[in-house]
Chain A
Amino acid sequence: MSLNTAMVEKYRNNFLQEVAGNVEEGDWVKMCMQCGVCAGSCPLGNAWEHTPQKLFMMIRANKRDEVLTSDSMWMCTSCYNCIVRCPRELPITHIMHGLATYAKKLGLAPQSNPTQWFSETFWNNMMKKGRVNELKLGLSLYFKDGFVSGIKESIAHQKLGMNMMKAKRMAPMEIMGGHGVKDLSGLQKMIKKAQDIEAERLEANSK
């Protein structure tokens, strides 16, 4: 049984409880009084389908699929406008990221969403050497939508790249593989351990 199905089985009709038990800072959702300040304060709110306020109401209304497949939490820029103004001090930004992470773990995150894609690319890039290879990350972003648009993007951002090199923010030789952290395998082991603990926790929660 997949983790997703197990969770559905376990929390049948109580998505609020599922969020409280599994999502980072998720137990705060019940404190939302639906005042609308976060929705009105989110600089990107009008660009997405679900504002934080709406997501929190959907969670209470058991709209599990709509919430977990929503691309809205992936669009959060962590500007903290909502947290600063929320009269109930909900850690909204963290809940947004928590929801995104949880959806990803369940395999429900929207594959086509660019920030979701970028987060994954960023993570994989970082895990290879224990540090981000900015040159490769930048290039993979430019070439995301194919070769032709990649060349166009690169030309468009040529000046930025040159400036970054001048300021020693990017080294051209990094393309050869790039340098890593001192104890790469140690770091990878540590992260693997953390991931295992987290997976076990979710697994146990789903029982």
Chain B
Amino acid sequence: MTEVVATNQTILVVGAGISGITAAVEAAETGKNVVLVEKRAYMGGRISQLYKYFPKLCFPSCGLEINQRRLSAQGGITVLTMAEVSGVTGAEGDYTATVKISPRYVNENCTACGACADAVEAEFDNDHNYGMDKHKGAYLPYNMAKPERFVIDPRIIGTEDAEKAKAACKYDAIDLDMQEETVEFKAGAIIWATGWTPYDANKIQPYGYDRYDNVITSVEFERMMDKFGPTGGKILRPGDGKEAKDIAFIQCAGSRDRNHLKHCSRICCMASLKQSTYITEQYGAEDEDAKGTIYYIDIRSIDRFEDFYRKVQNDPKISFVKSKVANIIVDKENNPVVKGVDTEGYHRYETKHDLVVLAVGMEPNVTKESFPVEIAINEHGFIEADEANGGIFAAGCASDALDVNRAVQSATAAALRAVQVVNKVAGAEG
């Protein structure tokens, strides 16, 4: 049974992406008791699926590592993975949260030796890699996953595979009788840091993501660059496994569009500028076939990032076409052909590329309908700062489409507000 020690001076943080981890650590560092609830089997959220960060082009794993170390060094944080908040009642200073914890079937004895995975046959789409490869029925979600503990996929429970996994484990770490649990505990303030999800590219019909193998999304492109990712760090065409050298990026795929997301997702211009540098990184500056084309309405490289944009503009390998692509077709060799009219001169183009990357927009992870508590949400689905929210505060991409820097700032702000609420409770209780 999972024990959660909490009072109405506890701060509940929902979502352990970079925003949730930051908020939890900052609140705990002021001496508060924190419960961090994460839906996935591991912490880190979406940044664990990015290859490099703009603007410095450093690895997200580095910052994540630092934060996770801060988190474990700092006592007072209870982390619940595979857990979701299913209900919240009460008011500021006195909430009761109900959290549903799904069985992992693996306990803390796990050494991540991997013997169970070797023993199991069944394979499933790997969500961490957006379904670009498979994982076994017993698996570590990714090579750096924290907690570093395997998971048994519930789909093998009751099959022979489950027994094989259990038999293979020398550490008595597999418990096939684990059940779903529901825990209830108190909290004085709540921070929602449930983040974002990529806009469903299937809905952008003229771009044919659902029909063409060699049209992928920006989040998938990030996974390709990871050495431990689905392509072993190579940029390959999903259609035929060949190297993709001539790469098109299509901006505002599903954003700034009243048929899709009305808002500007704000990070995708920078994400594509960053991803265009992956081409040279992969093939070297001398490879003449390696090049990138960015199709855009306008490039929104907000404030400090203008420098980064300039640098990419000066890269002879990267060209810019001011045009929202009208549609994509494929030629006989299954090459995507991008069609439209460019706004600087109104030239009609029909350009073949090896691979098209759709810079998909950011949607809030938790839809308005599925919020377990009354909260002010704007027309784009993000949580608004509103007095009526009482002791509930949003952090990171649950509050807006933000890059990591801004997400972390908003997490610190949310932590500060939550700390003030529980301080008031402490004051009243003396």
Q: What residues of chain A have their CB less than 8 Å away from a CB belonging to chain B?
A: 33-37, 39-41, 45-46, 51, 53-54, 84-85, 87-89
Contact = CB atoms under 8 A, between A and B. Distances in A.
B328 to A, nearest CB: 11
B252 A51 contact: no
Interface residues of B, number: 21
A33 B259 contact: no
A200 B347 CA distance: 41
B343 interface: yes
A48 to B, nearest CB: 12
B346 A35 contact: no
Contacts of A51: 341, 346
Given A45-B348, A54-B346, A37 B259 contact: no
Given A37-B325, A85-B259, 15 more contacts: A33-B297, A35-B323, A35-B343, A36-B322, A37-B326, A40-B324, A40-B325, A40-B327, A40-B339, A40-B341, A41-B327, A46-B348, A84-B259, A85-B206, A87-B259
B304 interface: no
A45 B252 contact: no
A39 B259 contact: no
A88 B325 CA distance: 15
A87 B206 CA distance: 13
Interface of B: 206, 252, 256-260, 297, 322-327, 339-343, 346, 348
Contacts of A35: 297, 323-324, 343
A85 B326 contact: yes
A85 B326 CA distance: 8
A87 B341 contact: no
A40 B297 contact: no
Contact of A36 (B256, B258, B342): B342
Contacts of A36: 322-324, 326, 340-343
User: Which secondary structure dominates where chain A touches chain B?
Assistant: helix
Nearest to A90: B258
A88 B342 CA distance: 18
Nearest to B295: A36
A85 B252 CA distance: 13
Contacts of B340: 36-37, 39-40
Given A35-B323, A35-B324, A89 B343 contact: no
A88 to B, nearest CB: 6
A72 to B, nearest CB: 12
A87 B256 contact: yes
A71 to B, nearest CB: 17
A37 B322 CA distance: 11
Contacts of B322: 36
Contacts of B341: 36, 39-40, 45, 51, 53
Contact of A39 (B206, B252, B258, B326): B326
Contacts of A41: 206, 326-327
A40 B257 contact: no
User: Which secondary structure dominates where chain B touches chain A?
Assistant: loop
A24 B324 CA distance: 26
Contacts of B348: 39-40, 45-46
Which of A33, A46, A84, A87 gathers the greatest number of chain B CB atoms within 10 Å?
A87
Contacts of A46: 348
Nearest to B321: A36
9 contacts: A34-B343, A36-B322, A39-B341, A41-B327, A46-B348, A51-B341, A54-B346, A87-B256, A87-B260
Which of B326, B343, B346 gathers the greatest number of chain A CB atoms within 10 Å?
B326
Nearest to B349: A40
A87 B346 contact: no
Which of A51, A84, A85 gathers the greatest number of chain B CB atoms within 10 Å?
A85
A200 B158 CA distance: 80
A53 B258 CA distance: 17
Contacts of A53: 341, 343, 346
B397 to A, nearest CB: 22
A81 to B, nearest CB: 9
B240 to A, nearest CB: 27
Contacts of B206: 41, 85
Nearest to B322: A36
Contact of B346 (A33, A39, A84, A85): A39
B346 A37 contact: no
Contact of A87 (B258, B339, B343): B258
Contacts of B325: 37, 40
A40 B326 contact: yes
Contacts of B326: 36-37, 39-41, 85
Contacts of A37: 324-326, 340
B324 to A, nearest CB: 4
B320 to A, nearest CB: 14
A40 B349 CA distance: 9
A46 B350 CA distance: 12
Which of B327, B339, B346 gathers the greatest number of chain A CB atoms within 10 Å?
B346
Nearest to A34: B343
